[in-house]
Amino acid sequence: MLNQNQIKDFYFATVLEAKAAGRPNEICYVAETNQHYCYIAAGSAYTADDVYILTTANGGNTRWVSLIYPDIVTHSATEATTADKMRGQDHIITGAYTVTLPAAVVGMQATFISTTAAVFSLDSNGADQFILAGTALTAGYKITSDGTAGVVVTVKCLQANKWYVTYTNSTMIDGGA
């Protein structure tokens, strides 16, 4: 059982207090964000945003990572997504945009959903390739939607440097370089 002094070590009123503290494998609560966080010693893959991901006073690649990570990422422009946004999140694509995926690491996955009738593409980085309907596309090529609203496509990295299209409710094609 924890005593009152031990409990206060796991409670922070503000993000600044939490960022100034922490030891590996601890869990804390921050009142300002109403979030619980786990201290991750090798957290450099997580981009700090001061809500779900907090840097720490230890610097380097240590992070406080929220135990309730956001499920939805919105893309309203052509842009790259980051590794920390490929942990099972849903990505909403609001127009004719290209989303570039990070380097494919086993275990990464995400679902992309279009909200408008516009062609969108998912672009692998130069070393990665998509596996679409059992066919390996050329490394660095993208997959492209048919332009209908409501397209859903799920990609998973089951093997290093390969994004497998494991589900789609529409036609995705080889979008070339």
CATH number at residue 117: 2.60.120
| Total domains in the fold of the chain | 2
Examine the domain organization and report whether 52 and 88 are in the same domain.
no
Same domain? 95 vs 156: yes
- Are 49 and 43 in contact by the 8 Å Cβ rule? The answer is no
Same domain, 148 and 82: yes
Same domain, 18 and 51: yes
- Asked if residue 122 and residue 55 are part of one domain, the reply reads no
7 neighbors 35 (Cβ within 8 angstroms): no
Same structural domain for residues 79 and 162?
yes
57 lies in the same domain as 90: no
Q: Are residues 134 and 124 in contact, defined by beta-carbon separation less than 8 angstroms?
A: no
Query: For residue 45, what pLDDT band results from cuts at 50, 70 and 90?
Result: low
The answer on 114 and 133 residing in a single domain is yes
Among candidate residues 13, 39, 66, the one where a domain is terminated: 66
Is residue 8 predicted with pLDDT exceeding 60? no
Burial class (CB in 10 A: 0-12, 13-18, 19+), 125: middle
Q: Does 57 share its domain with 94?
A: no
Distance CA 169, CA 3 (A): 54
C-alpha 78/C-alpha 134 separation (Å) is 27
pLDDT tens readout for residues 102-121 = 999 988 899 999 999 999 99
* Domain assignment of residue 9, given as a range: 4-66
Spatial CA neighbour of 108 closest among 157, 151, 59: 157
DSSP string, 120-148: -EEE--TT-EEEETTEEPPTT-EEE--S-
Say if residue 107 is in the same domain as residue 162: yes
Read off the pLDDT of residues 119-159 as tens digits, 9 standing for 90 and up: 999 999 889 999 999 999 999 999 999 999 999 999 999 99
Those residues whose C-beta lies under 8 Å from the C-beta of residue 41, and which sit 6 or more positions away, are 24, 25, 61, 62
Given 20, 44, 66, the domain boundary residue is: 66
* Structural contact between residues 104 and 157, judged by C-beta atoms closer than 8 angstroms: yes
Residues 104 and 155 occupy one common structural domain: yes
DSSP secondary-structure letter at 48? P
Which residue, of 66, 89, 110, is where some domain finishes? 66
54 φ/ψ sector (left φ>0, alpha ψ -120 to 50, else beta): beta
Q: What is the pLDDT of residues 60-96, one digit of tens each?
A: 677 787 766 557 889 999 999 998 889 888 899 999 9
Whether residues 89 and 156 share a domain: the answer is yes
Tell me which range, 37-46, 57-66, 164-173, is most confidently predicted by mean pLDDT. 164-173
